[in-house]
Structure 1
Amino acid sequence: PAAQRRVAELEASTSWRITGPLRALARSLRRV
């Protein structure tokens, strides 16, 4: 269904929005 596909896309974009800053944070922490 279209609704299910939209939920999957939303989850993907949200996870990207979270993993992006998280990866940057981990990189800065590793540098210290």
Structure 2
Amino acid sequence: MKVTKISAVTLPISDMKKSVDFYSKIPNFKIVYGGP
């Protein structure tokens, strides 16, 4: 079976601000929840 789409990924992180900054710079990457 070939993967054609990923709908959600949850990653445990230690620095929310740094992670949101990093992932928000990836083209076509949608951040749905950035935590408090």
TM-score (normalizing by structure 2): 0.33
The higher relative CO (CA closer than 8 Å, separation ≥ 6) is in 2
Instruction: Indicate the structure with greater helix content.
Output: 1
Larger radius of gyration: 1
TM-score (normalizing by structure 1): 0.36
